Amino acid sequence: MTALRQFFASGGLARTRAMLIKEFIQLRRDRVSFAMIIMVPLVQLLLFGYAINTTPRDLPTAVLLQESSDLGRSLLKAFENTKYFKVTRLLRDEDEFDRVLASGEVLFAIEIPRNFERKVRRGETPAILVAADATDPVASGSALAALSRLVQTALAHDRGLPDSGPPLFEVRTHARYNPAAATQLNIVPGLVGTILTMTMLIFTALSVTREIERGTMESLLSMPITPFEIMIGKIVPYIIVGFVQASLIIGIGIGLFGVPVLGSLTLLAALSTLFIAANLAVGYTFSTIAQNQLQAMQMSMMFFLPNILLSGFMFPFAGMPTWAQWIGECLPLTHYLRIVRSIMLKGATLPDLHYDALVLAGLMAVAMLIAVTRFRRTLD
């Protein structure tokens, strides 16, 4: 009580009020921090409310129809009526069947064999193959579970078929690339990209702002060096750091968790370097926009949040609405997750991954262009 009386008697309340006003004024002037206070919870609410779906529907599906018959078409319609499968591609042969799964173009491939209708009407119980890309067990699990109900109801309304008795056909499922649905095989490759995104962004986002706050930027600018050369000089050392990080994570994943590497390590190393460079370019762009290290860190975290939620690392990418998938396609982590999972678990080659590699290169080029242009403006 004595301390409280001394506080009021000495004018402590007035000084505290002045300090509060000063902090609010400073917060108002720091527009980036004020925007983050509003935007972070708003973005989280919108993404979790509208974009995230742990039971994905309308998953891309390819069909190899070996015969064109009424029962075959009825069966395809029954697959789509489950709301889990959406036929996006018709295949020509078994080689294309394997290729579209390996490249990640579809999550499921269905093969309806020749003479399917004739065998059904003879009571021979033909088999339909449903191959699933099980690198993401969450995305494929619910859809595969729905197939047991489909056997009983798919051809219920077709004429000339018995209304009761044993099933008219059987569905043979093949969960490829991760048949045991082990979460480690999905999470560990994804962690490579996630950890690299976080660390690479932070490293370079602080690079230019640190030079300004330490007062060393003037010395740097007095040297005969261009903005592009400064950017390359700051990015290249962290490419080596990122490469060491990626090697460490992949090595631990192989040694402790038994994650296979079925594809080329050289290809994985090359595309990982491209991904690291893309993230460093984005972080460097933030460093040229931010006025201090706090703002640079806030921008990095704001960019990191949608990378985690919309890339397919935590939630199935195919289950997101179209607008969320378009945003995800603009994020480097989305494409790297496809690359690292495809190389490690599927043995994919560069032709299978050319789209994601080209997008990563494009994102890196755009970020570098913005960074160099913005850095010149800062110099002026």
Query: Backbone dihedral region of 374: left (phi > 0), alpha (psi from -120 to 50 degrees) or beta?
Result: alpha
Phi, psi of 124 (to 5 degrees): -90, -5
> Which residue in this structure is represented by tokens 């090359």?
270
**Cα-based angle 133, 138, 140 (whole degrees, multiple of 5):** 35
Find, among 338, 330, 317, 312, the residue nearest to 60 by Cα. 317
Same domain, 92 and 159: yes
Same domain, 169 and 206: no
Side-chain half-sphere CA neighbours of 63 within 13 A: 18
Same domain, 296 and 337: yes
Here the tokens at position 143 are: 């859809």
The answer to whether residue 117 is domain-embedded is yes
Same domain, 192 and 229: yes
Q: Is 65 helix (H, G, I), strand (E, B) or coil?
A: strand
Length of the chain: 380
**How far apart are alpha carbons 83 and 306 in whole angstroms?**
27
Same domain, 214 and 361: yes
Q: Under a CB-based contact definition with an 8 Å cutoff, are residues 120 and 170 in contact? A: no
Q: Is 201 helix (H, G, I), strand (E, B) or coil?
A: helix
Same domain, 167 and 217: no
Q: Is 86 helix (H, G, I), strand (E, B) or coil?
A: strand
**How far apart are alpha carbons 132 and 134 in whole angstroms?**
6
SS (H, E, C) 121-177: HHCCCCEEEEEEECCCHHHHHHHHHCHHHHHHHCCCCCCCCCCCCCCCCEEEEEEEC
Q: What's the distance, CA 259 to chain centroid?
A: 19
Beta strand 127-133 with 108-112: parallel, antiparallel or unpaired? Answer: antiparallel
The answer to whether residue 71 is domain-embedded is yes
Confidence at residue 25, expressed as pLDDT on a 0 to 100 scale: 74
The answer to whether residue 267 is domain-embedded is yes
The answer to whether residue 44 is domain-embedded is no
Confidence at residue 272, expressed as pLDDT on a 0 to 100 scale: 93
Confidence at residue 379, expressed as pLDDT on a 0 to 100 scale: 46
Same domain, 94 and 133: yes
Q: Is 193 helix (H, G, I), strand (E, B) or coil?
A: helix
Beta strand 108-112 with 59-65: parallel, antiparallel or unpaired? Answer: parallel
Max CA separation in the chain (angstroms): 100
Same domain, 233 and 333: yes
Residues of the chain with pLDDT under 70: 1-13, 15-16, 19, 22-24, 26-27, 29-37, 40, 44, 47-52, 151-166, 215-222, 375-380
Find, among 317, 258, 264, 377, the residue nearest to 56 by Cα. 317
The answer to whether residue 48 is domain-embedded is no
The answer to whether residue 23 is domain-embedded is no
Q: What Å distances lie between residue 242 and 145, 204, 303, CA to CA?
A: 40, 12, 18
Domain extent, residue 201, equals 183-379
The answer to whether residue 40 is domain-embedded is no
Same domain, 131 and 259: no
Confidence at residue 334, expressed as pLDDT on a 0 to 100 scale: 94
The CATH number covering residue 103 comes to: 3.40.1710.10
Domain boundary among 131, 159, 176: 176
Domain boundary among 176, 205, 235: 176
Confidence at residue 197, expressed as pLDDT on a 0 to 100 scale: 92
Same domain, 189 and 87: no
Please state the domain count of the chain.
2
Residue/partner pairs of 85-88 with CB below 8 Å, 24 or more apart: 85/58, 85/59, 85/61, 85/110, 85/143, 86/58, 86/59, 86/60, 86/61, 87/61, 87/62, 87/63, 88/60, 88/61, 88/62
The answer to whether residue 85 is domain-embedded is yes
Same domain, 192 and 319: yes
Q: Which residues contact 61 (CB under 8 A, 6 or more apart)?
A: 79, 85, 86, 87, 88, 89, 106, 107, 108, 109, 110
Confidence at residue 276, expressed as pLDDT on a 0 to 100 scale: 92
Q: Where are the alpha helices (DSSP H) in the chain?
A: 2-9, 12-29, 31-46, 70-81, 94-103, 116-122, 137-145, 147-153, 183-205, 207-214, 217-221, 227-257, 265-289, 293-310, 322-329, 332-341, 350-379
Here the tokens at position 210 are: 């640190």
Domain boundary among 149, 176, 203: 176
Q: Which residues contact 29 (CB under 8 A, 6 or more apart)?
A: none
Same domain, 206 and 349: yes
**How far apart are alpha carbons 359 and 349 in whole angstroms?**
16
